[in-house]
């Protein structure tokens, strides 16, 4: 049948994309998942996060190796107090050292050997506090979503 504009508008307004600004509890920690993996996606994430919570306490980050590391890491470093950089679960991503070089002088930064190790370093926060982020590749966000409580 024909597209009914009111139905389409309602569908868009109520759509939910898993992994896009999605709050979950993982290993007893409340985290916000976001699949922002390009400069535009990170800009949307940063604006939305700042409007609701201000500065982010920490972010676990991994990116596919075909993504613009500098275009993502610079704005992400400006949003968060601490970056935890990890390889992707399937080893198809930028090495964490490449991500670190993409945002020199950004403050607290740690390189870990796996996303699980990085997840354990995210701070546990109260329900009212700004949540830490898990951000970047769908591969990282999907892996974390797969173990969500």
Model confidence at 29: pLDDT above 70: yes
Q: What is the pLDDT of residue 14?
A: 67
Classify 117 in phi/psi space as left (phi over 0), alpha (psi -120 to 50) or beta.
alpha
Q: What are the pLDDT digits (tens) for 35-89? A: 999 999 999 999 999 999 999 999 999 999 999 999 999 999 999 999 999 999 8
Q: Which pLDDT band, with edges at 50, 70 and 90, does 15 fall under?
A: low
Short-list 119, 130, 109, 146, CA closest to 28 = 119
């Amino acid at each position: 049948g024909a597209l009914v504009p009111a139905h389409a508008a309602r569908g868009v307004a109520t759509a939910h994309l898993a992994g896009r600004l999605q709050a979950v509890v993982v290993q007893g920690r409340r985290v916000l998942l976001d699949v922002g993996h390009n400069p535009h996606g990170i800009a949307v994430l940063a604006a939305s996060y700042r409007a609701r919570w201000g500065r982010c306490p920490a972010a676990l980050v991994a990116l596919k190796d075909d993504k613009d590391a500098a275009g993502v890491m610079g704005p992400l470093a400006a949003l968060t107090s601490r970056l935890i950089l990890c390889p992707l679960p399937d080893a198809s991503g930028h090495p964490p050292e490449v991500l670190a070089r993409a945002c020199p002088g950004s403050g607290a930064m740690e390189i870990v050997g796996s996303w699980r190790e990085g997840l354990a370093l995210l701070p546990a926060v109260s329900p009212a506090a700004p949540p830490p982020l898990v951000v970047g590749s769908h591969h990282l966000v999907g892996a974390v979503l797969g173990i969500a409580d």
